[in-house]
C-alpha cells in the first residue's frame, strides 16, 4: 500500500501544512517578497478562486516557477516526444509475461479488464508503471471529471504568467520527474502493479485525498500522507527534491520576486519547504488574504 501511495503522491502533490496553501517568503535581505503555493496536480484551475491572496501575490511577482516548466511540453520536438514515450514503454529485450507468474497474469487480466477494458497482453507494450499511471488517471477522471476539459492549477499559473509577460521556469526538469516514475527496475514496477491490484482500494484513497484537499481538511490529509509513505519513498520523492529545490530557490530569491507552484506535499514536515526555508534564515508566513 505504501508503494501505491508514493506514486499517487508524486502524481497529485498532496496537501497539508496547517490548512494553508499560500506562503510568503521574505527576510535575508530580500527586497521584494516571494511566495510558495501548494497544489493538487489533478484539481482544475478554478480552485484558485478559493485560495486567499493568490491572485494578489501573482500580480506582485515577475516570475512563476513550477516543479518543471510545463510550457516546454507544448514545444517538444519529435525527438523529445519519442524519448519520453520510450521511457514509458517496455524495452525490446523484455516481455511483460516474464515479469509475472501465470496466476499473477490471471489476476491482472481480471483487474485490467474491469478497470480499463483490456487484458495484460493488450497492454504488454507498456511498462508496468505506465499501466499503473493509466489506471490512476482513469480513476481521477471519474473522481474529478473537470480535469478532462479544464487545465490544472500548475499549468494554469505558468500559462497565465506567460500571457502576462512574466518569466516562467522550473525547479527541476520533466525528464527528472519521468525518471522518478519510470526509472525503477521493471520487477519493482511489476511488484507495485500487483500491490495496487491486491489492495483494490486505490480509488478510495484518491477520493479521500481529493476530498481532504478540496475541503482543506489538511490535518487529515497530512496524516494519511505520513501513514502511507515509507521513509525511503519520502526521501526519494520529497526530501531529496526539496533540498535540491532549496538551492535553486536561494539563488532566485535574491534576484527575482517569484511565485513557486509545487505539489503541496512538499510544504510540511521537518524536511518540507517551509521548514527548510526557515532554517536557511528566511521568514515564511501564511497568506491569509
Residue 117 is classified by DSSP as: S
Residue 76 is classified by DSSP as: -
What local confidence, expressed as pLDDT, does residue 206 receive? 78
Q: Cα-flanking dihedrals φ and ψ of residue 254, to 5°? A: -85, -15
> Using an 8 Å Cβ cutoff, are 38 and 129 in contact?
no
Mean local confidence (pLDDT), 244-267: 92
Tens of pLDDT, residue by residue over 184-235, are 899 999 998 998 888 767 778 778 877 777 776 656 666 776 776 777 778 8
Q: What is the DSSP code string of 129-188?
A: HHHHHHHHHHHHHHH-GGGGTS-BHHHHHHHHHHHTT-EEEESS-HHHHHHHHH-S-HHH
Residue with more model confidence, 218 or 283 = 283
Q: Classify 193 as helix, strand or coil.
A: helix
What local confidence, expressed as pLDDT, does residue 16 receive? 43
Tens of pLDDT, residue by residue over 133-147, are 899 889 888 888 888
- Return the closest-CA partner of residue 67 out of 185, 157, 197: 157
Q: Lowest mean pLDDT of 51-60, 103-112, 172-181, name the range.
A: 172-181
Mean pLDDT, rounded, of the chain = 87
Say how many Å lie between the first and final Cα of the chain, rounded.
38
Rounded to 10 degrees, the C-alpha dihedral 94/100/105/109 comes to -60
State how far the Cα of 78 lies from the Cα of 226, in Å rounded to an integer: 40
Alpha helices in the chain (DSSP H): 2-12, 54-60, 78-88, 102-115, 128-143, 153-163, 174-182, 186-199, 202-214, 218-228, 231-234, 240-255, 273-279
pTM (2 d.p.): 0.87
State how far the Cα of 192 lies from the Cα of 184, in Å rounded to an integer: 11
Q: At what angle do helices 128-143 and 202-214 cross, to 10 degrees?
A: 50
- Return the closest-CA partner of residue 208 out of 37, 14, 21: 14
What local confidence, expressed as pLDDT, does residue 163 receive? 97
Does the pLDDT value for residue 266 go beyond 80? yes
Tens of pLDDT, residue by residue over 9-41, are 555 554 444 458 899 999 998 989 999 998 888
What local confidence, expressed as pLDDT, does residue 217 receive? 61
State how far the Cα of 81 lies from the Cα of 84, in Å rounded to an integer: 5
Does the pLDDT value for residue 95 go beyond 50? yes
State how far the Cα of 215 lies from the Cα of 15, in Å rounded to an integer: 11
Amino acid at each position: 500500500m505504501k508503494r501505491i501511495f508514493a506514486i499517487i503522491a508524486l502524481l497529485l502533490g498532496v496537501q497539508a501544512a496547517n490548512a494553508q496553501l499560500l506562503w510568503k517568503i521574505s527576510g535575508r535581505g530580500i527586497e521584494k517578497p516571494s511566495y510558495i503555493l501548494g497544489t493538487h496536480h489533478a484539481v482544475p484551475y478554478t480552485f484558485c478562486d478559493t485560495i486567499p491572496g493568490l491572485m494578489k501575490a501573482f500580480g506582485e511577482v515577475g516570475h512563476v516557477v513550477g516543479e518543471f516548466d510545463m510550457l516546454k511540453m507544448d514545444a517538444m520536438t519529435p525527438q523529445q516526444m519519442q524519448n519520453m514515450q520510450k521511457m514509458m514503454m517496455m524495452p525490446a529485450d523484455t516481455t511483460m509475461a516474464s515479469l509475472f507468474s501465470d496466476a499473477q497474469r490471471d489476476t491482472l487480466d481480471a483487474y485490467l479488464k474491469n478497470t480499463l477494458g483490456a487484458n495484460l497482453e493488450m497492454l504488454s507494450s507498456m511498462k508496468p508503471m505506465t499501466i499503473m499511471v493509466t489506471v490512476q488517471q482513469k480513476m481521477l477522471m471519474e473522481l474529478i471529471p473537470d480535469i478532462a476539459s479544464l487545465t490544472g492549477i500548475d499549468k494554469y499559473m505558468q500559462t497565465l504568467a506567460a500571457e502576462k509577460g512574466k518569466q516562467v521556469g522550473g525547479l527541476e526538469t520533466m525528464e527528472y520527474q519521468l525518471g522518478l516514475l519510470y526509472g525503477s527496475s521493471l520487477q519493482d514496477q511489476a511488484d507495485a502493479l500487483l500491490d495496487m491490484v491486491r489492495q483494490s482500494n486505490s480509488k478510495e484513497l484518491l477520493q479521500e485525498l481529493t476530498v481532504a484537499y478540496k475541503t482543506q481538511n489538511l490535518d487529515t490529509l497530512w496524516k494519511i500522507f505520513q501513514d502511507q509513505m515509507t521513509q525511503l519513498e519520502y526521501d526519494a520523492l520529497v526530501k531529496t527534491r526539496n533540498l535540491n529545490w532549496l538551492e535553486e530557490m536561494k539563488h532566485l530569491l535574491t534576484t527575482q520576486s517569484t511565485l513557486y507552484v509545487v505539489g503541496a506535499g512538499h510544504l510540511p514536515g521537518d524536511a518540507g519547504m517551509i521548514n527548510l526555508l526557515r532554517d536557511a534564515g528566511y521568514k515564511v508566513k501564511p497568506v491569509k488574504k
